[in-house]
């Protein structure tokens, strides 16, 4: 079945015609032109303006020779969400493929992504530093602002590629993940009876441009009742103050932000009674942190979301409940979960295996990498790169990233479980666990801590004695002021291993 046929078949199964991102914007701009879709600082973007600027950019790109299927890179910083949004939809309305990038990327990373994607043009925000990569067309903010108004273009097919989004690259070189329009708009309607996130006029996030979480927020701005309130950076006091001042109903974070919010005391310094939903994504929220958030925000529902750049927009969703504090929930929106053994057979409940998530709509693929596509995407299922198990009721529990599982002697150690136990310590603010080489056991766990004081290995092991088995106990410690994280909020663990390589005798300091 062709990609076009597959997209249309998925849409028919959902009971409605497939949509493109420009169609969503155009339809909503007609019915709610004055709706403020994005706010950042004192700047706002209403739907009528968004649609007008989208068509101007689309027509300008076509007039400059950018055609359907051409890749156009978008290089914007954290303060540029409004400009980025109009550039993104402008590229898509021209029938081209958007390649979201971030000014946080190093020059070498940008060079690789531009070359790998085959970008023929770059649209960028103020102050963006472009690499020396030769690209035929480069538009700065002045060039974009000078584009005249234009009539709408016919637009792309729902099965046409819409974006190439690069993964975080925590385990190697970033991969470009291609999504078609029907994938991005799965579950959306031009005339929904109810719109999502109706808790307030705005939802808040501080996700960087160029991440899967950031793209989810952008689609929320197009489709949800609430408009996007984008923070240029995350700092717990500022974030909490924004919630209070704007009476935000829905808040989205990654676990690192949740941890900082909880330990900073910012939640107690402001009236946050408006929050009815706090969603965490990108990684599993430690159970102790989820419990702390639930106590600090008694009116809010705390939700863990689990997906990946490859699997989106399909995800699992789990409302935090003390009876299942570590569960990541069940697949939503028509998706499915399965756990497979190494031989490809289904694991029974309680047995750890590979996690696969099945999309309800059109799946994604890797750009220019057929071998990796065949390895990760199979018959509508996406290999998540994680190990975990399902309980008898079908709830998912993660064990670890496949690449992070520590094989220690005859045992396997889950870094997720050890990190969750460390987070229960009242003086540990943040924690990460890595495997280090050992001449006898092969590998042993080591912990890197952000703590309110220097803790000794003996103190930590005594605290964990009733929480972890002997083989799960960290054999070494290091202290840092903060954990290194990528733009998506995930810990870059290979940098942590270097701490122990550089200081083999390290036990309590860094």
**What is the predicted pLDDT for the residue at 170?**
55
The chain-wide mean pLDDT, for the chain, equals 91
Instruction: Tell whether the model's pLDDT for residue 52 goes beyond 70.
Output: yes
**Does the pLDDT at position 110 exceed 70?**
yes
Q: Counting runs of H as helices and runs of E as strands, what totals does the chain give?
A: 15, 26
Average pLDDT over residues 17-26: 94
The band of 502, judged by pLDDT with boundaries at 50, 70 and 90, is: low
The pTM for the full model equals 0.86
Predicted confidence at residue 169, as pLDDT, reads: 60
pLDDT exceeds 60 at position 171: no
Say what percent of the chain tops pLDDT 70: 94
Taking the CA atoms of residue 323, residue 329, residue 334 and residue 335 in that order, the dihedral angle to the nearest 10 degrees is -150
Q: Which CATH architecture has domain 21-156?
A: 3-Layer(aba) Sandwich (3.40)
pLDDT tier for residue 16 given thresholds of 50, 70 and 90: low
- The DSSP result for 242-304, as a single string, is HHHHHT-SEEEE-HHHHHHHHHHSGGGSS--TT--EEEE-SSPPPHHHHHHHHHH-TTSEEEE
Q: Is the pLDDT reported for residue 509 higher than 60? A: no
- In DSSP notation, 451-501 reads ESSPPPHHHHHHHHTTTS-GGGS-SEEEE-SS--B-TTS-B-HHHHHHHHH
Q: What is the per-residue pLDDT across 89-108, written as a single tens digit (0 to 9) for each?
A: 999 999 999 999 999 888 99
- Buried-state track 57-92, b at ≥16 Cβ within 10 A, e below 16: bbbbbbeeebebebbbbbbbbbbbbbbbbbbbbbbb
What class, spelled out in words, does domain 202-336+361-381 have in CATH? alpha beta
- Mean pLDDT confidence for 318-343: 90
As a whole number of angstroms, the distance between CA 11 and CA 267 comes to: 42
Domain with CATH 3.40.50.12780 in the chain: 202-336+361-381
Question: 166-170, 174-178, 222-226, 373-377: lowest mean pLDDT where?
Answer: 166-170
Asked if the model's pLDDT at residue 503 lies above 90, the reply is no
**pLDDT over threshold 80, residue 11:** no
**What is the model's pLDDT at position 8?**
46
Q: Which of 324, 36, 27, 398 is nearest to 185 (CA)?
A: 27
pLDDT interval class at 7 (50, 70, 90): very low
Across 164-188, average pLDDT: 87
Give the CATH H-level superfamily of domain 406-502.
ANL, C-terminal domain (3.30.300.30)
Q: How many residues does the chain have?
A: 510
CATH 3.40.50.980 boundaries in the chain: 21-156
In the chain, which residues fall in CATH 3.30.300.30?
406-502
pLDDT at 485 over 70: yes
pLDDT of the residue at 166:
96
- Among the ranges given (236-240, 298-302, 331-335), the one the predictor scored with the smallest mean pLDDT: 331-335
Please state whether 14 falls in left (phi above 0), alpha (psi between -120 and 50) or beta: alpha
């Amino acid at each position: 079945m062709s990609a076009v046929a597959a997209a249309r078949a998925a849409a028919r199964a959902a009971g409605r015609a497939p949509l493109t991102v420009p169609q969503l914007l155009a339809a909503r701009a007609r019915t709610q032109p004055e709706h403020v879709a994005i706010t950042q600082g004192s700047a706002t973007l209403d739907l009528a303006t968004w649609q007008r600027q989208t068509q101007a950019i689309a027509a300008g790109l076509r007039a400059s020779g950018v055609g359907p299927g051409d890749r156009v890179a978008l290089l914007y910083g954290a303060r540029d969400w409004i400009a980025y949004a109009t550039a993104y939809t402008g590229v898509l309305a021209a029938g081209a493929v958007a390649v979201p990038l971030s000014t946080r990327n190093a020059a070498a990373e940008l060079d690789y992504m531009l070359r790998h994607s085959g970008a023929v043009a770059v649209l960028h925000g103020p102050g963006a530093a472009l690499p020396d990569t030769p690209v035929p067309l480069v538009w700065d903010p002045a060039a974009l602002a000078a584009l005249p108004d234009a009539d709408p273009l016919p637009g792309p097919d729902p099965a046409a590629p819409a974006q190439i989004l690069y993964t975080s690259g925590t385990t190697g070189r970033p991969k470009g993940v291609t999504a078609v329009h029907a994938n991005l708009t799965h579950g959306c309607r031009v005339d929904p009876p109810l719109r999502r996130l109706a808790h307030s006029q705005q939802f808040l996030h501080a996700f960087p441009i160029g991440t899967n979480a950031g793209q989810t927020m952008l689609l929320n701005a197009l489709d949800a009742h609430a408009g996007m309130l984008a923070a240029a950076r995350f700092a717990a006091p500022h974030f909490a103050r924004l919630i209070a001042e704007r009476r935000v109903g829905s808040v989205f974070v990654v676990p690192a932000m949740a941890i900082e919010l909880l330990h900073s005391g910012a939640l107690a310094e402001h009236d946050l009674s408006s929050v009815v939903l706090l969603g965490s994504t990108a990684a599993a929220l430690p159970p102790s942190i989820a419990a702390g958030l639930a106590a600090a925000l008694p009116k809010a529902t705390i939700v863990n979301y689990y997906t990946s750049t490859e699997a989106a927009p399909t995800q699992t969703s789990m409302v935090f409940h003390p009876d299942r504090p570590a569960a990541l929930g069940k697949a939503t929106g028509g998706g499915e979960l399965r756990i497979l053994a190494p031989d490809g057979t289904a694991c029974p409940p309680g047995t750890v295996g590979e996690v696969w998530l099945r999309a309800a709509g059109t799946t994604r693929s890797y750009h220019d990498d057929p071998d990796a596509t065949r390895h990760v995407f199979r018959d509508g299922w996406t290999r998540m790169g994680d190990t975990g198990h399902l309980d008898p009721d079908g709830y998912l529990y993660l064990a670890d990233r496949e690449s992070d599982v520590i094989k220690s002697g005859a045992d396997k150690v889950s870094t997720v479980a050890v990190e969750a136990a460390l987070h229960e310590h009242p003086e540990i603010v943040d924690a990460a666990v890595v495997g280090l080489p050992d001449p006898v056991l092969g590998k042993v766990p080591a912990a890197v801590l952000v703590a309110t004081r220097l803790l000794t290995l003996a103190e930590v092991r005594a605290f964990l004695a009733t929480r972890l088995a002997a083989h799960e106990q960290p054999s070494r410690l290091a202290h840092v002021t903060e954990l290194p994280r990528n733009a998506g909020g995930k810990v870059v663990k290979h940098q942590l291993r270097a701490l122990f390589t550089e200081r083999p005798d390290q036990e309590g300091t860094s």
